[in-house]
Structure formats: structure tokens, C-alpha cells
């Protein structure tokens, strides 16, 4: 995963899914099992910083945007209310989605992106 975001939601399950649709994501029948260990690891790391996440039920879903980019979400639910969402992307494509979700009232708590450094070999004009 190259991008991971933790969002505070506090909405009913149906309303949270509607918010995701409005943000341009739709639920797809994807293989979330392949990413379950990654989501478990992320949730464990986040639970160290936010200990009250431990007692919530986790529901994993696969999402896709209009361009076909895949996203994986872990909804942390209690009594039909989605309290938090851990949204992940194999590519650095979360910024636009996060902007639309925060405009709908979701609060961004944590955003971690893995950036690659571009290095070029030294050229003859470089100062030594």
C-alpha cells in the first residue's frame, strides 16, 4: 500500500456508503482477502495511537473509482454506526477522494503516503 488514511466518520452504515459513492467510489466485488493481513497490520498500528479503535467490528470492502483505480477500506463499526474508516490505495491516489470526503463532513485524522525518491546519476556538470 502506498497511501493510508484514517478518517473519523460517525454516520450510519448506509449513509457512509452513500458518502463514498458521492466521493466517486463504488463498491466492487474484489478480493479483499488478499489485503486482509495488510489491513490488520495497519489497524494494529493505528490502534496504538488511537486505543479506542480496538473494540469496534471491522468490515472490509473493495472500492473502485471511475478510472478503475482500486481502493480498500476497513470500516470500524459499532451498532450500525461507522465510527472510523481506514482507506488504503496501492497507488498515491487518495488526495482527491479525501478532499471530497472531508467536504462531506468526514474528518481526516491520519494520512501516510509512500513517496519514491528519483535519483539520477551524477553528470559531468555537477559540482564535486
Q: Locate cell 494494529: which residue? A: 44
Tell me the pLDDT band of 128, cut-offs 50, 70 and 90: low
pLDDT at 83: 92
Q: How many whole angstroms separate alpha carbon 31 and alpha carbon 16? A: 21
pLDDT in tens, 55-100: 788 888 989 998 888 898 989 999 889 999 999 888 877 888 999 9
Tell me the pLDDT band of 127, cut-offs 50, 70 and 90: low
pLDDT at 44: 74
In this prediction the pTM is 0.78
Q: How many whole angstroms separate alpha carbon 121 and alpha carbon 7? A: 40
pLDDT at 35: 67
Describe the chain by its helix, strand, coil percentages, rounded to 5: 30, 35, 35
Phi-psi bin for 10: left (phi > 0), alpha (psi -120 to 50), beta? left
pLDDT at 23 over 60: yes
CA distances to 13, 28, 55, 78, 93 from 63, in Å: 15, 5, 24, 21, 13
pLDDT at 14: 93
Amino acid at each position: 500500500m502506498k497511501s493510508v488514511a484514517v478518517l473519523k466518520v460517525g454516520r450510519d452504515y448506509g449513509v457512509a456508503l452513500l458518502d463514498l459513492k458521492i466521493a466517486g467510489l463504488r463498491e466492487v466485488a474484489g478480493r479483499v482477502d488478499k489485503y486482509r493481513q495488510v489491513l490488520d497490520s495497519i489497524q494494529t498500528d493505528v490502534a496504538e495511537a488511537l486505543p479506542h479503535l480496538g473494540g469496534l467490528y471491522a468490515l472490509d470492502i473493495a472500492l473502485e473509482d471511475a478510472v478503475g483505480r482500486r481502493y480498500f477500506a476497513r470500516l470500524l463499526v459499532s451498532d450500525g454506526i461507522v465510527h472510523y474508516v481506514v482507506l488504503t490505495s496501492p497507488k498515491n491516489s487518495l488526495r482527491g477522494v479525501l478532499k471530497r470526503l472531508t467536504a462531506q463532513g468526514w474528518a481526516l485524522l491520519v494520512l501516510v503516503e509512500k513517496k519514491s525518491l528519483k535519483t539520477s546519476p551524477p553528470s559531468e556538470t555537477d559540482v564535486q
